[in-house]
Chain A
């Protein structure tokens, strides 16, 4: 039978587990093309060459075309082995135990790499993300911004959904959008020409009383003759290569980071430093979402509908983090599930408890600690735990928003039904953002 990509990894995992069980530390590595090699730590005790040859034979057999040119490597043969073997980027599968070695993985991929970079993020930034699109995320962003502003906060909303921008148009009439959008900033900054690109504007649709303000950084500038959005979009996702002396190049993640910081600085210059920055992220396992969730924001609101596709998607995403225990511990403290389109009326309680149950299963498998029976300190909250990330903030489905044209119904957000549907989400999310229980 032909050995495919997933079979190769599964088989290699088994070989690696057997070696680890024999008492030796190992790291199973997979490169960009999917080729697999096993690094055997022989620093403490030497490995007879016939043993290495036997492991190599087994590995080559299970990995087939995905076996690397050198399927096994000895740590003692690596240049500076500690740099690699002590890296915190390695995923932990099994820790050392009496008589057993440690098994770790190093999985290098192109897309998705940003899902697992060690996060450094700002607590005032909050990402709103949905694994699948069309979950009412932009509407939720709008209403949350309005609520936070009504409490006197200065809120900046950044439309990071570059492929299908939306929240900008909700927050501002088209004619009043700024000259430039995020895509403009990104292409101008690539050639060092970003000075003077004004890309934020104060929302004229949300007009809070008191000291609150809502600012928006749209994806696109005001539509006009000669303004080519697609041409810019095509150029924003690349890593910029290193140039001449002193220019180290810029990774995509850093480019986005700089753009968001520029938006914040401009709001600060024109009014005051924003207290909350809402990032309306695009859907899917795209790097843009990865950057927003793991690199930029201190908190993420993850929108979901209770169906199998959604949980399969989130499971895949969380597993990326779960491979690195340190990252899993960080990320699970930063996320909060949102149940969008909760059926209204009598079925609500039942829907939410099913949602909560499946969300807990999804998070437990990927990001919660494996709690042994004698380990009460492990973090693995039960389904009923209200303070856990899997306990959803509900948004009730409301027919009023289906096919809504917010230009022709400018007061859509004043509707009692809409506000009732989003009330618990808005209150809960605001507490989450403010750091209140």
Chain B
């Protein structure tokens, strides 16, 4: 039997995580969703995993380090080799000075002109638990020690490789949060290059030790890839993609795994689920068949974004309006929009015949848009500083006008005012082109905040436009009452 509107709303309220930030989200076996598009990203032999904001880089970075979640992924993706992996963090957002240097230590290492390769090799040898390594010392001393013993370094690596091979294990060294290593983009680029060279080196020289680098596509620029055979890494790169079917798959997975009695009713009202322990796995139809998903979502949200089809259908409207300039929708935005949609409908449209009202969904998208802008402001403060200057304008806008506004605000100066020595844990990388406004525009396009129109003018996708306070040019004047 299908759930009523009120029951669906009740279930949505419990099932959707109130925190949608992967750094603080409690990961567990019930709620970890495994979209079919992410299989390649988990292959131990794939070193570079590209993904924009909020697409699950940190979720996988953390899940791979948890043996239960890793086993679960290995089972779901039929990847026995993954079940035999052991994973260590090589860098991440959390401070873990036993495993890798934090931003402050990285800053002083880089200030002392240390070779990034040497830093990451030291991190690797630490992960491999090489007994000779002085582990109770600072990273600077450890690095110096590794530098002083080049022959031993190669021997340890070979030995660790053999040990892993004998035990049929794969050792994975994971890298995440690369934009939180150093405030200066040029230095960050060198550190990233170091990580990538290590990844390539491991692939050529070992059989059972691999690096996996979770990275935003815009950070993987030509300048970090300027080393021999870099193309071998990028040709083999995976991408964490979310198609609408994956997003809805995630929603249905969460609805079927909520700690609520209605979760069971939901599972029973949909095609056969399979159960492993306390984890309920939705059938392929619910995670991959758009027609069936659309029917099911229509039970929750009704068919249209209004009283008729003129404003589009709910199923495609929601992800379509969360897309950034690169055509990507993050599950984080998607979930946030649904949380607000549920809440708004409950407060303002409680008597609606569906659990979600289209005005609620619209409100949800606006809220997700605000969240997105907040995230950008945290992660890439320079983006906020730059785009904020466009407040009150309308898109499409001439490039000349954008540049003129930036010049008037002296953006270069605003972007340059950044503490050289970062506060611990607060590091965020800046743009590549502080003084070159055209280059800055190009960077904004690469990260999906801006788009270029066919006539050369600049535009903002709605997910950023509305929250940044930018209008859209049109021919029909709005009647003010």
In angstroms, how far is the closest chain B Cβ from the Cβ of A320? 12
Q: Does A368 lie within 8 Å of B479, measured CB to CB?
A: no
Name the CB-closest residue of B to A103: B477
Q: List chain A residues, Cβ under 8 A from B471.
A: 370-375, 378
A329 to B480: give the CA distance in the assembly, Å: 15
Name the CB-closest residue of B to A315: B475
Q: A-facing mask of B378-395, CB < 8 A → 1, else 0?
A: 000000000000011110
Q: Does A325 lie within 8 Å of B477, measured CB to CB?
A: yes
Partner of B313, one of A94, A367, A369, A437: A437
Known interface pairs A371-B394, A373-B469, A386-B312; A95-B480 also in contact (CB < 8 Å): yes
A374 to B366: give the CA distance in the assembly, Å: 12
Q: Does A373 lie within 8 Å of B392, measured CB to CB?
A: yes
A-B contact pairs, 13 of them (CB 8 A): A333-B310, A364-B472, A368-B475, A370-B474, A371-B394, A372-B478, A376-B366, A382-B461, A384-B323, A385-B462, A386-B316, A386-B317, A437-B317
In angstroms, how far is the closest chain A Cβ from the Cβ of B219? 24
Q: Is the interface of B mostly helix, strand, loop or mixed?
A: loop
A65 to B219: give the CA distance in the assembly, Å: 64
In angstroms, how far is the closest chain B Cβ from the Cβ of A112? 18
Known interface pairs A358-B454, A373-B392; A95-B479 also in contact (CB < 8 Å): yes
**Interface residue count for B (Cβ, 8 Å)?**
44
Q: List chain A residues, Cβ under 8 A from B166.
A: none
Residues of A whose CB lies within 8 Å of any CB of B are: 92-97, 318-319, 322, 325, 328-329, 333, 354, 357-358, 361, 364-376, 378, 380, 382-388, 431-432, 435-437
Q: List chain B residues, Cβ under 8 A from A329.
A: 476
Q: Does A380 lie within 8 Å of B305, measured CB to CB?
A: no
Name the CB-closest residue of A to B310: A333
Q: Does B478 lie within 8 Å of A437, measured CB to CB?
A: no
In the complex, B315 has a CB within 8 A of chain A: yes
Q: List chain A residues, Cβ under 8 A from B474.
A: 364-365, 367-371, 378, 380
A64 to B323: give the CA distance in the assembly, Å: 52
Within 8 A of A (CB), among B304-318: 304-305, 308-317
Q: Does B461 lie within 8 Å of A354, measured CB to CB?
A: no
In the complex, B81 has a CB within 8 A of chain A: no
Q: List chain A residues, Cβ under 8 A from B470.
A: 373
Q: List chain A residues, Cβ under 8 A from B469.
A: 373-374
A437 to B392: give the CA distance in the assembly, Å: 33
Q: Does B317 lie within 8 Å of A369, measured CB to CB?
A: no
Within 8 A of A (CB), among B365-385: 366
* Of B311, B462, B474, most A-chain CB atoms within 10 Å: B474
Known interface pairs A384-B461, A386-B320, A435-B308; A364-B479 also in contact (CB < 8 Å): no
Within 8 A of A (CB), among B259-317: 303-305, 308-317
Q: List chain B residues, Cβ under 8 A from A358.
A: 454-455
Q: Does A361 lie within 8 Å of B396, measured CB to CB?
A: yes
In angstroms, how far is the closest chain A Cβ from the Cβ of B418? 28
Q: A-facing mask of B449-481, CB < 8 A → 1, else 0?
A: 001011100010110011001111111111110
Q: List chain A residues, Cβ under 8 A from B312.
A: 385-388, 437
Q: List chain A residues, Cβ under 8 A from B394.
A: 370-373
Q: List chain B residues, Cβ under 8 A from A357.
A: 453-454
Q: Does B303 lie within 8 Å of A437, measured CB to CB?
A: yes
Name the CB-closest residue of A to B455: A361
Q: Does B320 lie within 8 Å of A384, measured CB to CB?
A: yes
Q: Does B478 lie within 8 Å of A369, measured CB to CB?
A: yes
